[in-house]
Amino acid sequence: QKEVEQNSGPLSVPEGAIASLNCTYSDRGSQSFFWYRQYSGKSPELIMFIYSNGDKEDGRFTAQLNKASQYVSLLIRDSQPSDSATYLCAVHAGNMLTFGGGTRLMVKP
Amino acid sequence: KAGVTQTPRYLIKTRGQQVTLSCSPISGHRSVSWYQQTPGQGLQFLFEYFSETQRNKGNFPGRFSGRQFSNSRSEMNVSTLELGDSALYLCASSFGSSTTTDTQYFGPGTRLTVL
C-alpha cells in the first residue's frame, strides 16, 4: 500500500522564523510531489510541486526533494501568522495522487 | 479562468437516503478526482474519471459511485447513507495527462451531514 507520512503537529514557530515541514513516502515509483495548504474549513490550495531532486524556490517557499531517501520537505521563510494552516504533502504515481495526513502549522505573532 | 465549482456547498441528509454531488472542472481539464475528508481519516481518494471513464478507484464500498459527462462535469452518488459518511467531499480537476507535472486543483467542497 502506497503511504505518505507527515507529522501531524502542531508545529509552532514564531513570526519571522523558518518553518520546516517534512514528508516521507513509500512508493519508489513516485514521480512528482505536491504541497497544498488548507485553511480550516476551506479546500486545499496548491503551493508548489517538485519532481527533480534538489531544491525549488517560489517566493518564501522552498520545496526540497531527495528521491534516494524518499523524502520531501517544504521550507517557509519569514513565516507570517497568515501561514497558519494545515500543509498537505501529496505524491503522484500512476495517475493517482496520494495525500499525507497533513501537518498543522501555527505561526505565533 | 473560472475555478472548480461544486454544488451544493452544504447538504443535510438522514440515514438511508441517497445523495448526488456535482463538480464542474476548470475549462479544458478532462480529469476529475473525488476525495472524502474527515478529521480522523484525512483526505481519502474515492475515484478518478477521465474522458467519461473511471480510471482509478480507492477503497470505498460500492455505495459510492460516480460518473462523468462528455463536457467533463462529474457527479458523485452515495446511496444508503450512514452516519460515518458525514464529511467534506472534495473534487479536483486536472488535464489528466500522464506527465509528472499534471496538477490537481480543488473545488470548495460539499459539506455533507448525515443525521
Of A99, A83, A64, nearest to A13 by C-alpha is A83
AA identity, residue B88: L
Chain B CB contacts of A42 below 8 Å? 108
Q: What is the tens place of the pLDDT at every residue in B58-105?
A: 999 999 999 999 999 999 999 999 999 999 999 999 998 766 678 999
Q: Is B104 on the interface with A (CB under 8 A)?
A: yes
Residue A24 pLDDT greater than 90, yes or no: yes
Residue A86 pLDDT greater than 80, yes or no: yes
Residues in chain A: 109
CA-based nearest distance B42→chain A, Å: 5
A2: confidence class by pLDDT, cuts 50, 70, 90: low
Rounded to an integer, what distance in angstroms lies between the CA atom of residue B69 and that of residue A67?
38
Q: DSSP character for A42?
A: S
A1: confidence class by pLDDT, cuts 50, 70, 90: low
Residue A92 pLDDT greater than 90, yes or no: no
Q: Is B23 exposed, middle or buried (0-12, 13-18, 19+ CB in 10 A)?
A: buried
